[in-house]
Amino acid sequence: MIVWDKRYSVGVEKLDQQHQMFFSLINKLEDLTTHDTFLDELPRLLNEIVEYATLHFKSEEDLLTKINYPDLANHHAEHENIKKDIYMECKRVIEREPTAMDVMWLYNYMNNWIKHHILEVDMMYVEAFKDE
Ligand SMILES: [Fe+2]
């Protein structure tokens, strides 16, 4: 289970809330591995995760545009890459009639990228918001 704490705060409430929502969607993936019916529930959850990623990245980029964040192009490119990667990995797992272990793998994959993205990439814009 991935737990949000202050370390992950980017100092913008809306984005912190969205990151928390992301954590809870990713945790649902872990929960799912304990359900016998996970194969029925998995496609909908993965869809929700992919859609939420799109919505969240757009919110983040809109706010970064508002403050004229100088590194927006790179941040946008990183988001596009993540969206592609998540989509591909979800598709790959769904197409092979996944076992609970495959779903666990996907959970770990998403857990790692969101931690990395918030702590290494999103943190780079924290100062820019403070200057506003
Ligand atoms: Fe981001």
**In-domain check, residue 132:** yes
Interval 96-107 mean pLDDT: 93
The tokens of 80 are what?
């596009």
The tokens of 49 are what?
């995760």
| Residue 71 Cα to ligand 1 middle (Å) | 11
**In-domain check, residue 20:** no
| Residue 114 Cα to ligand 1 middle (Å) | 9
49 C-beta neighbours (distance < 10 Å), count:
20
pLDDT at 11 over 90: yes
**In-domain check, residue 111:** yes
* CATH code for position 104: 1.20.120.50
Confidence of residue 131 (pLDDT cuts 50, 70, 90): confident
**In-domain check, residue 38:** no
State the amino acid at position 98 in one-letter form: P
Taking 3-state DSSP, the helix, strand and coil percentages for the chain, each rounded to the nearest 5, stand at: 80, 0, 20
125 C-beta neighbours (distance < 10 Å), count:
22
**In-domain check, residue 120:** yes
The region, left, alpha or beta by phi > 0 then psi within -120 to 50, assigned to residue 97 is left
pLDDT in tens, 13-70: 999 999 999 999 999 999 999 998 999 999 999 999 999 999 999 999 999 999 999 9
**In-domain check, residue 62:** yes
**In-domain check, residue 7:** no
pLDDT at 97 over 90: no
Domain residues for 78? 43-132
CA 41, CA 86: separation in Å to the nearest integer? 18
**In-domain check, residue 35:** no
Total domains, the chain = 1
| Residue 70 Cα to ligand 1 middle (Å) | 14
| Residue 38 Cα to ligand 1 middle (Å) | 29
| Residue 95 Cα to ligand 1 middle (Å) | 28
The tokens of 20 are what?
């928390």
